A and B are shown apart, each in its own frame.
Chain A
C-alpha cells in the first residue's frame, strides 16, 4: 500500500476480518548506504533497501507467524492466508497472548539521511591514518554504513508504536604482518549519531590496532596455572552476551538456565552492576519498543551483585510465571569501578590480559573454555608479551563472584559502556 505508515494497522484489520482473534503486525523499513574496504582499498559502495512485514495471529489459542518483504495488498492478503493455515495446523496453548493496550507513541532519533561524501572523506582519512601510523597493519575489511530504520508495530489490543532511527556504524577487521609473521585478526566496531569525529579517534580503535602490530611475534605459555584474567571491555561484551543468554525465554522455559532460581539472590561480586539501556542518551544505538509490542525502558539486571531481572518476553513470562522484562536486553552498561587500569595490572601476580576470547558455547552448567586471542601474559604486575595457543577455562557462575577489580575507565562503543574487570581463579594453560 502507498502509505507505509498505515501498513501494520491495515494488516491487523485484515487478520481480524479473516477470523483471527488476536493479531499483531510489525513493519521494518531499512535503507542502508555502505562503503566497504577490502585489503586496504575502498572497493565497494552499496545502497540497499529492504522491508520486513511480520504478521502474528492467534485463534483458539493457536499461534502462527509469517513474514514477507513486500507491502502490496496482494502480498499481504496471501500472507494472511498462509498465516491462517499455520494457525489452524498449530496446537492450542493458553500461554499465547499479545501485548496489552498502551498509549500510542512515536519516537525518533539520529540522522535519517546519510552524508555520503563525508562518509567517503572519513573513510579515506582513516585509511591514510592507518597507513602512516601502522605500516604493518592490514585492513582485511572495513565497513562504514549509515542505516535508517522505520519501525511500526500495531496489534488488536490497540497498541500502536512507530519509530524512526538513523545511525552510522563503523567496523574494522585487521591483522598485522611483519615479514612472514602474522598476528591473529582482531576487530573493533562503533555506532555513532554523526561523523563529526575522525574514525580512528573512537574508543578502542587506536588501542586495538596498536596492539595488533605488537602481536606478530607471540610466545606459547608452558604448563597450566590458576591465575587472574583482566577482560578488556571488548572481550567483556562477549561474556555479557553469553551470561545474559541464560536469562532469556528458552533456558528459563526449559529449566536449563544456571540462574533459574537466582532472582533476588547474589550472583556476583557486590561491585558489579549491569544495566540494559536501550533508551539511553549515552548510547548511539538502541530501540524504543520491543518485538512483542511493549514500550522499552532501561533496566538494571544485576544490582550490586544481586540478580534483579530476567530478560523474559511476554511468552516466556507467562510460561514461567516470572516477571516480564521491561526491555529485550542488549545495550549493556556496567558501572565503573574505583581502580585505575594500570593499578589493576600491577595487582596481578600471574595472569592474562584477555583481549578476545574464542570459545566454545558454554555448557548448560556454565563451564567454558576457549583460546585467549590477541592477549598478553602478565607477571608480577607487568604486561610481558603477547601469547598464542593459550587456553582459558572457568565457570561463568563462579567467575562473577571472583571479581578483584573493576576499572574506573570504560569504553563506550555506541552499543555498550563497559570497564576492564579482573577475575581471579581462572585456569590458564599453554601447550
Chain B
C-alpha cells in the first residue's frame, strides 16, 4: 500500500476525528484430495473517517484512495455526526485527548514467494498425508494468509502505521467408520507472512503424524457421559474460554450493555490460581500473535489485567467507554476492514501459567476427561458458554484412556473458574480464530492447561 501524507487533511477535522487508510490482502489455496479447489488472491483497500460530536458519531468510507475521496469521507463522517447530534443532542463531554505515534511493520524481510512456491508447499503437505496415512478417505489442506496494513491519524495528534500479517493452514483429515466418517482438523496459525512461517512442509510432518494418531483413536472413540466432571482443558480450550466466556463480558461496551461482569468488579470471580490478561502486543517477553501497539483510535495499547489472582480488576476500553467509566483508554479499539468503525475488541487473551505440570494434573484425576481441541465456541452476557470439543480423552485413575467422539462442554464461566484447582506451567498461543462482533477480526488467544469441573454433554 502506498504511504500517504494524511496530516495535510487534519485541518478539515471538526471535533474529534480519525482518518484511516487501510488495505487487507488475502491469499488462499485450498486442496481437497489432491485437487486445487481454490487458488485466489483478494485485496480490499480504502479510506474511512470517524467523527465525534457531543456523544454522537459519524462514519464514512470509500474504496477510492485519492484526494477527492479522502476529503469526501471526512466531510461525510462529520455530516453524519452532525445529523445525529442535531436529533439526539446528547451533550456528552469531549473524549480523552491522548496521542500516540509509532510504526510497526511485521512484513517479511525475505524475498517474496511466488505463487508456485505456495502451491508447492500445499502439495508437499498433501503428498505426505496421501503417502503416509493409509486409512484417510478425505484430506483437505488450506493455506490462508492475511496482511492488514493501516495508516492512521487523529485530531488528537496520533499518527500510526502498522502491517500485521497472519498465516495459517487448515488440515482436515477423515477416516471411515461403521457409523460414518470421522474427521479431525488442525490449524497451525501465527503472526507473520508465508515466507517467515511456512518454510518447508517437512517441519509439519511430526504435527501431521500426531493428528493422524489422534484421528485413528477418535475413530474408535466413545461418547462421554453427560453431567459435571473433573476435566483438564488444554491450552486451546482454556484460550477460547478466556476469550469467549470471560473476555467478551468484560469489554466495556458489553458491561454497559448489561453483561453480568458489571456487578462483579473487585469481587472474587475465579480461583486465586487464575490471572487473566488481555495482552496488547508482548507477553512474557515474546511478541503476541496479534500485536497491537497503537489502536485504531490512536491510543497506545496497554495490557489489561482482567482477573488478578481470582479477583475481577479491569474492563477493556476505547476512548468513549474510558470517559464514561472514569479510567484511561486501554487501546482496545480496532476495526477489521477499512470500512469498519473501531469497536472494543480483545487483542491477545490468556490465563497466565501456573506451577503444575500436565502429567501431574492428569495423574490427579480419578475419573474425568482431558479435552484438547475445540471446534467453535459461544458465550453470552451471563458468561454462560458452550464450546464444541473435537478431540479429547477419558482419564481413568490418573491415566489417559479411550478417545472421545465430538462433544460439547458448557457452564457459567464465573462459576466454573472458581473450580480451577490447577494451572499448568506451560503456555501456547494461536491466532487461528476470527472473533465475531458486528465485524470479524483476528484475535490471539492461548494459555496453559487448567483443571476444573465442567458440564460435558453429548449423546
Chain A interfacial positions (CB closer than 8 Å to B): 38-39, 41-52, 63-70, 82, 85-91, 93, 95, 116, 120, 124, 138, 140-141, 143, 175-177, 180, 182-185, 224, 250, 253-256, 258, 315, 358-367, 369-371, 373, 388-389, 391, 393-395, 427, 429, 431
B454 to chain A, nearest CB (A): 11
Name the B residues within 8 Å of A388 (CB-CB): 382, 384, 412
In the assembled complex, how far is the CB of residue A376 from the closest CB belonging to chain B, in whole angstroms? 16
**Residue pair B380, A373 in contact (C-beta under 8 Å):** yes
State whether B258 touches A255 (Cβ < 8 A). no
How far apart are A42's CB and chain B's nearest CB, in angstroms? Answer: 6
**Inter-chain contact B228/A431, CB cutoff 8 Å:** yes
Pick from B41, B46, B256: contact of A39, CB under 8 Å: B256
Contacts A69-B46, A371-B384; is A253 near B257 (CB within 8 Å)?
A: no
Given A66-B40, A367-B459, A45 and B258 contact (CB-CB distance below 8 Å): no
Task: Chain A residues near B257: list those with CB within 8 A.
Answer: 38-39, 138, 140-141, 175
Cβ contact within 8 Å between B182 and A363: yes
22 A-B residue pairs with Cβ-Cβ distance under 8 Å, sorted by A, are A43-B55, A45-B59, A50-B44, A50-B63, A65-B40, A69-B46, A85-B114, A89-B119, A120-B87, A140-B258, A175-B381, A182-B381, A182-B382, A255-B181, A256-B138, A315-B37, A359-B386, A360-B376, A367-B406, A370-B388, A391-B455, A393-B408
Q: Nearest Cβ in chain A — how far from B353, in angstroms?
A: 27
Q: Which residue of B35, B119, B457 is within 8 Å of A369 (Cβ)?
A: B457
Give the chain A neighbours of B33 by CB distance below 8 A. 253-254
The answer to whether A363 touches B406, judged by C-beta atoms less than 8 angstroms apart, is yes
How far in angstroms is the closest Cβ of chain A from B349? 20
Interface residues on B, range: 35 or more
Whether the Cβ atoms of A255 and B36 lie closer than 8 Å is no
Contacts of A52 in B (CB 8 A): 44
Assess the B119–A50 pair: CB atoms within 8 A: no
For the complex, what is the distance from the CA of A363 to the CA of B181, rounded to whole Å? 9
Does B81 sit within 8 A of A, measured CB to CB? yes
- Given the interface pairs A185-B380, A360-B386, the reply to whether A64 lies near B180 with Cβ below 8 Å is no
Cβ-based interface call for B90 (8 A): yes
B231-256 vs A, CB cutoff 8 Å, 1 = contact: the mask equals 00000000000000000000001101
CA distance A34 to B72 in the complex (A): 18
Contact at B80–A46, with CB atoms within 8 Å? Answer: yes
**Chain A residue contacts of B389, Cβ below 8 A:** 360
A180 partner residues in chain B, CB cutoff 8 A: 263
* Chain B 21-36 residues near chain A, CB threshold 8 A: 32-33, 35-36
Q: Is the CB of A369 within 8 A of B407?
A: yes
- Complex CA gap A249/B164 in Å reads 33
B382 to A184, Cβ gap below 8 A? Answer: yes
B259 to chain A, nearest CB (A): 7
**Distance in angstroms between the alpha carbons of A283 and B44 in the assembled complex:** 31
The 8 A CB mask of B405-434 against A (1 = contact, 0 = none) is 111101110000000000000000000000
Chain B proximity of A151: nearest CB distance (Å): 16
The answer to whether B58 and A45 have CB atoms under 8 Å apart is: yes
CB <8 Å contact, B408 and A67: no
Is the beta-carbon distance between B381 and A185 smaller than 8 angstroms? yes
In chain B, positions 327-386 with a C-beta closer than 8 Å to chain A are 339, 341, 375-376, 378, 380-382, 384, 386
Partner of B375 from the list A49, A258, A360 (CB cut-off 8 Å) is A360
B62 within 8 A of A: yes
Q: Is the CB of B381 within 8 A of A49?
A: no
Known: A64-B40, A175-B258. A393 touches B181 (CB 8 A): no
**Which residues of the other chain, B, contact A361 by a CB distance below 8 angstroms?**
375-376, 388, 406
- B81 contacts A45, C-beta separation under 8 Å: yes
- Check B137 for interface membership: any CB of A closer than 8 A: yes
B56 contacts across to A, CB distance below 8 A? 42-45
5 interchain residue pairs of minimum CB distance = A360-B388, A365-B180, A140-B257, A363-B406, A89-B115
The reply to whether B378 and A358 contact each other, CB–CB distance below 8 Å, is: yes
B46-64 interface code vs A (CB 8 A; 1 in, 0 out): 1010000001111111111
Q: A140-B257, A364-B183, A391-B455 are in contact. Are A183 and B63 (CB under 8 A)?
A: no
Which single residue of chain A is at the shortest CB-CB distance from B337?
A50
Which residues of B pack against A, CB within 8 Å? Answer: 32-33, 35-46, 48, 55-64, 76, 80-81, 83-84, 87-88, 90, 114-116, 118-119, 137-138, 140, 174, 179-183, 226-228, 253-254, 256-260, 263, 339, 341, 375-376, 378, 380-382, 384, 386-390, 405-408, 410-412, 438, 455, 457-459
Instruction: Kindly report which residue of chain A lies nearest to residue B35, judged by CB atoms.
Output: A93
Chain B residues within an 8 Å CB radius of A41: 55, 88, 90
In the complex the two chains form, what is the Cα distance from A93 to B90 in whole Å?
Answer: 61
CB distance from B64 to the nearest CB of A (A): 8
Instruction: For the A-B complex with A90-B119, A95-B35, A369-B458 known, give 11 more contacts whose Cβ atoms are closer than 8 Å.
Output: A39-B256, A65-B39, A67-B41, A67-B44, A89-B119, A254-B138, A256-B181, A360-B375, A360-B406, A391-B455, A427-B459
Chain A: minimal CB distance from B231 (Å): 15
Known interface pairs A45-B59, A46-B341, A85-B115; A69-B408 also in contact (CB < 8 Å):
no
Residues of A within 8 A of B181 (CB): 255-256, 364-365
User: For residue A391, which residues in chain B have a CB less than 8 angstroms away from its CB?
Assistant: 226, 408, 410, 455, 457
Known: A67-B40, A91-B36, A393-B458. A45 touches B83 (CB 8 A): yes
In the complex, A93→B35 CA distance in Å? Answer: 7
Among A185, A224, A373: residue with most chain B CB under 10 A: A185
| Contact pick for A389, options B60, B115, B376, B412, CB 8 Å | B412
Given contacts A70-B63, A391-B226, contact A256 B459 (CB under 8 A): no
Are A47's CB and B375's CB within 8 A?
no
The answer to whether B32 touches A254 (Cβ under 8 A) is: yes
CA distance A325 to B183 in the complex (A): 26
CA–CA, A1 to B390, complex, Å?
49
Residues of A near B39 (CB, < 8 A) are 63-65, 86-87, 89-90
A48 and B61 in contact, given A138-B258, A256-B183, A395-B459 (Cβ under 8 angstroms): yes
A110 to B433 CA separation, bound complex (whole angstroms): 36
**Cβ contact within 8 Å between B41 and A86:** yes
Contacts of A47 in B (CB 8 A): 59-60, 76, 80
B59 and A46 within 8 A (CB): yes
Q: How far is the CB of B193 from chain A (nearest CB, A)?
A: 17
CB distance from B358 to the nearest CB of A (A): 24
Query: Which residues from B are CB-within-8-Å of A373?
Result: 380, 384
Beta-carbon contact of A177 and B60 below 8 Å: no
**How many Å lie between the Cα of A364 and that of B227 in the bound state?**
24
Interface-centre pick from A258, A369, A388, A394 (highest chain B CB count, 10 A): A369
